[in-house]
Chain A
Amino acid sequence: MVFRWSWREIWSGQLWPVTAALTLIVACVVALSALAVRVEKVMTDQGRSMMAADLVFRSANPVPESLLSDAEDLELSLSRQIRFQTMAFSDNNMQLVSAKAVQSSYPLRGDLLLTGAAGLQKNAVQPGELWLAERLFSLLDVKIGDIVAVGDAELQVSGRIEAQPELAYNPFRTMPGVFIHYSDLDKTGAVQLGSRVQYRIFFNGENDALKELQDNHQAQAGDSWISEENQGRSADLIIKAKQYLSLTILMVILMASVTLVLTCRHYAASRAESVAMLKSMGAGRRWLRGWLLSQAAVMFSCSLIIGSVIGIALEFLLRLPLQGILPQQLPGYGWLPFAFGASVALLIGLPALGIPLLRLLDTAAIEVLQKQNSKGSKKNWWLAAAPVTAFLLFYGASKLVWMVCIGLILLFLVLAAISYALLHLLSSGKWGAAMHLALSRIKRSPQTTMMQLAALSGSLMLVAVIWLVRADLLGDWQQTLPPDAANVFALNIAPEEQRRYLQQLDNNSIQRSEAYPIIRGRLTHINDLNAKDKAAENNQDVHALRREINFTWAEKLPVYNELTAGKWTAENAVSIEASLAADLGISVGDKLSFSVNSLPFSARVNSIRTVQWQSMKPNFYFIFSKDVIAQMPATWLVSFRIDEKQIPVLNQLGRDYPTVTLLDFRTMGERVQSMLVQISWSLSVLAALGVISGILLIFTLLRLSLKQRQNEITLYRTLGAGRKRISRTLWSEYGVMAAAAGLTAVAGAEALLFSLMKWGFQLQPSVHIIMWFALPALAIVIVFVSLKSVIQQLLTPLK
């Protein structure tokens, strides 16, 4: 009977809102974590296919044997690559190329697409083959079958490289590439003592084994490990998207927990009389404990089963809009999301159900006849330690999550006080009868009011944060790589060609950047101290000091560079990029010395700028005032955007200016763009889910709170209060509450967003004016709908 009873308590009794809240937690956690597992796998796979393997070891020195034998022990598959720069010679021309000598197993991940004679497609490089980047065919003036010398090795051109992983994002580091086989490397004579060569080993295998390998071999000077998490632009996207995913999961769990706590309190309150009655009939504590436990068990089982099923369906629904961009064969999500869902539900349920139910157990038998004025004991609050501990263990290291939590607590403390004061202030004014009654009601039960206010403003705040973090993230991504970003760079434009070249672009309505002169040089001294020593002093291995870099001069700074210190001046001045300035400890006013073709000169730092290196715009570490380097010989650089129909123009430009180097980033741009679209979609769907569950929570809370008023309202009705009076009072009360909660939520959300953006996602925070109006409006709309849905029922007079 006890089981039957529990079952009926759930379906026909008061327990179903509790079960629903618990089911919601399970469903959300299962759906979101299943989606997270999948999206993460997909994103990781994408990242890995871009780097050609699961893990890459990169070194300036030959790879230590111990690493290779370790990898073998760990059953990792591996592939070797050596990169070097060398001259390539054809019968007609020569060109500096970037050569990759790879084994036939390359790439371990991602696609290498090679097209040989007669359109024959291949995916691996075989001994004796030579594959050229498209551009080299014109630069070297060769065709398939011709002989090209790569260093000392004479090889027959096998075909062209159509697609390859490992594309660089930095336009200045890209030279036309060739692929040769690893076994042909010695013939080239390129790898000799002292030659600049980069060794790469690609590894594939189980994540644990990869991690172990990485842990066993810490990168020495000149070495580095590359995983999908530290390889530039796409890694940044993935990390931020993952952060957002866990943030959303956390917020949805938080909101569902609030619902659970409130519905459970409500249930416990409504069952106090039954427990007292059972005790009066002689039910002992043990029996009652068993009774409540069986209810909780039945409820948990139902929630877990139904929640998991809904979770699976929800994951499918969430994935629907992503179908076009997710791979056909999706990785499975295994049992992890279900285990996660169950443990989250248990951890939250333990205190949320445990505290009120154990208190229910303490109901005195005497209450069956005489209401006791007992204060709720706090002795069972230790149960709350369970989720708190789990939370600390799980999220302890996440800055973002801490921020949300501290934000929430601060919000509740500060803003609760403010809104309470606000309500008091309101109630001291002169109002109509309805408003007066409403305000006195709000004031009369401060504890209930504060709880409702906290729940309402808290959930509104979370809803706003979920939505706006998404908007801010997408905004930032769009800004750094807008759909109309440049996709071609033209380098080495001779000064005498420059005007004509730009003219030709403009005549064809091609969107382009300003043209910048390029002068290659080095930074030698900082305030007359050797720059390399200064770098060593700061414990920095500064890439920009190890090689010649591009200098430019300008009349004014590019508008897309943001000044962080100083201001642009036109005499003997240089503006430096912010991260380099930080690495070298350079500040405004410092004297910097440079050398170009062994010719020394110096300039004073007038400003420091931030630069978006991935923005596909011409960017420089150093921009000089015209008087410093304008007299030096320079070539020019311009970036522009080529659309599908402008390809003939690009080809024409290639023919008209054979000495101008064209770097074509169309493929890579499209790839990053499509990834951006994919992640944006995921984030939007997630955000929508978060917002919907938040609004549902608020709706549930309001209905619950209104239902609790049933007796009081019925009494007013019975005493003859008019429908209008009561409904006006209710509207006023909940309207005031909604407005106060809305404003509180706005302030809280703005503060939380600021910290999340600044310290969590490391982006520029912004103010969200629209939210200041939208959120209170949303609150009032939700209140309106909730009230509308129960008011008929509430206004029925006593039967």
Chain B
Amino acid sequence: MAKSVLSNETELSILEDISFEISAGETIAIIGTSGAGKSTLMTLLAGLDIPSSGEIELLGQPLSLLDEEQRAKIRSESIGFVFQNFLLIPSLSALENVTLPAVLRGDGEDSAKARGLLQSVGLSGRETHLPAQLSGGEQQRVALARAFMTQPEILFADEPTGNLDQHTAENIIDLLFAMNRDHGTTLVLITHDAVLAGRCERLLTIDAGRLVEPM
């Protein structure tokens, strides 16, 4: 598949000739320099956008044939996200932020489960705190707990430690991999950190919009 966008009336190719498969339960890192197309690739994989040509099949469903609402449904049922800048809702408490995906899916607030997840990321006692009252590392832990709330089949993590200091980053990564293991989730990790990428089972390197060497 390929992705291009219109910029100032000219077509700009972002991704070209990309083709690979990810098996269930795999942990995979997509690495590359800034502007290589990593994030674009992730938006396509997660169904946030559709490719200009070619096809992506996610959990057995061809994404290009689905409309936005159908793709949203897949995301709410099977996909979790961890973002570089955490993206918590500022007016919701830590606990409410964790229960949010369940609410979006229509499952209602499962506070007990959310509490359990917060406990597993080491934040018990901080349930009622608002994001602004938490440190960056704590906010990312809340985001991790949120990502696992709906038992997703796939977890997409976009530079999850990009905004954290090294020590905190290591803790978060340990936690991420531990939780991933416990929940048996497929992990797609985007990073430009080779050490972090090294902890994944498989590496995909993107350079100037092309897959360099599937490993």
Contacts and interface: CB of A to CB of B under 8 A. Distances in A.
Greatest chain B CB density within 10 A among A4, A5, A284 is at A284
A277 interface: yes
B46 interface: yes
B96 interface: yes
Contacts of B32: none
Interface stretch (A7-15, A205-213, A636-644, A760-768): A7-15
A283 B74 CA distance: 10
A281 B100 contact: yes
B43 A8 contact: no
A274 B46 contact: no
B175 to A, nearest CB: 20
B91 A282 contact: no
Given A5-B91, A366-B49, A369-B158, A281 B101 contact: yes
Greatest chain B CB density within 10 A among A274, A278, A279, A369 is at A369
Interface in A1-57: 1-2, 4-5, 8-9, 12-13
A273 interface: yes
A364 B68 CA distance: 10
Nearest to B99: A1
Contacts of A9: 91
B104 A370 contact: no
Contacts of B40: 370
A281 B83 contact: no
A368 B76 contact: no
Contacts of B75: 280-282, 365
A283 B48 contact: no
B92 interface: yes
Interface string B59-77: 0000000001100111111
A368 B48 contact: yes
Contacts of A369: 39, 42-43, 48, 83, 158
A287 B48 contact: no
Nearest to A10: B91
A287 B68 CA distance: 14
Contacts of A4: 96
B130 interface: yes
B92 A283 contact: no
Contacts of A441: none
B48 A285 contact: no
A287 B81 CA distance: 19
A365 B30 CA distance: 21
A651 to B, nearest CB: 79
Contacts of B89: 5, 274, 277
B103 interface: yes
Contacts of B83: 277, 368-369
A368 B83 CA distance: 8
Nearest to A12: B91
A605 B37 CA distance: 92
A565 B12 CA distance: 76
B134 to A, nearest CB: 14
Interface in B90-126: 90-92, 96, 99-101, 103-105, 109
A284 B69 contact: yes
Contacts of A365: 48-49, 68, 72, 75
Contacts of B92: 5, 8
Nearest to B96: A1
Contact of A284 (B72, B100, B101): B72
Contacts of B100: 278, 281
A302 to B, nearest CB: 15
B87 interface: yes
Contacts of B48: 279-280, 364-366, 368-369
B79 interface: yes
Contacts of B130: 12
Contacts of A13: 90-91
A369 B92 CA distance: 21
Interface residues of A, dominant DSSP = helix
B74 A282 contact: yes
Interface in A355-370: 364-366, 368-370
A279 B87 CA distance: 12
Nearest to B103: A1
A362 B89 CA distance: 19
A232 B47 CA distance: 76
B72 A283 contact: yes
A272 to B, nearest CB: 12
Contacts of B43: 366, 369-370
A278 B104 CA distance: 8
Greatest chain B CB density within 10 A among A2, A280, A281, A368 is at A281
B67 to A, nearest CB: 11
Given A369-B158, A370-B40, A282 B76 contact: yes
Contacts of B42: 369
A279 B48 CA distance: 9
B91 A281 contact: no
A285 B69 contact: yes
Interface in B130-175: 130, 158
Contacts of B68: 285, 365
Contacts of B39: 369-370
A282 B153 CA distance: 14
Greatest chain A CB density within 10 A among B43, B72, B77 is at B72
Contacts of B76: 281-284
Contacts of B101: 281-282
A282 B73 contact: yes
A13 B92 CA distance: 10
A590 B177 CA distance: 107
Nearest to B7: A373
Contacts of A366: 43, 48-49
Contacts of A2: 103
Nearest to A287: B104
Contacts of A285: 68-69
B206 to A, nearest CB: 15
A548 B101 CA distance: 92
B137 to A, nearest CB: 15
A199 to B, nearest CB: 73
Nearest to B100: A281
B87 A273 contact: yes
Given A9-B91, A368-B87, A280 B46 contact: yes
Contacts of A5: 89, 91-92, 96
Nearest to A2: B103
Interface in A268-311: 273-274, 277-285, 287
Contacts of A368: 48, 81, 83, 87
B96 to A, nearest CB: 6
Greatest chain B CB density within 10 A among A13, A280, A364 is at A280
Interface of A: 1-2, 4-5, 8-9, 12-13, 273-274, 277-285, 287, 364-366, 368-370
Closest 8 CB pairs of A and B: A282-B76, A282-B75, A8-B91, A13-B91, A277-B87, A366-B48, A365-B48, A283-B104
Given A5-B96, A281-B75, A282-B74, 10 more contacts: A1-B109, A274-B87, A274-B90, A279-B72, A280-B46, A282-B76, A364-B49, A365-B49, A365-B68, A370-B39
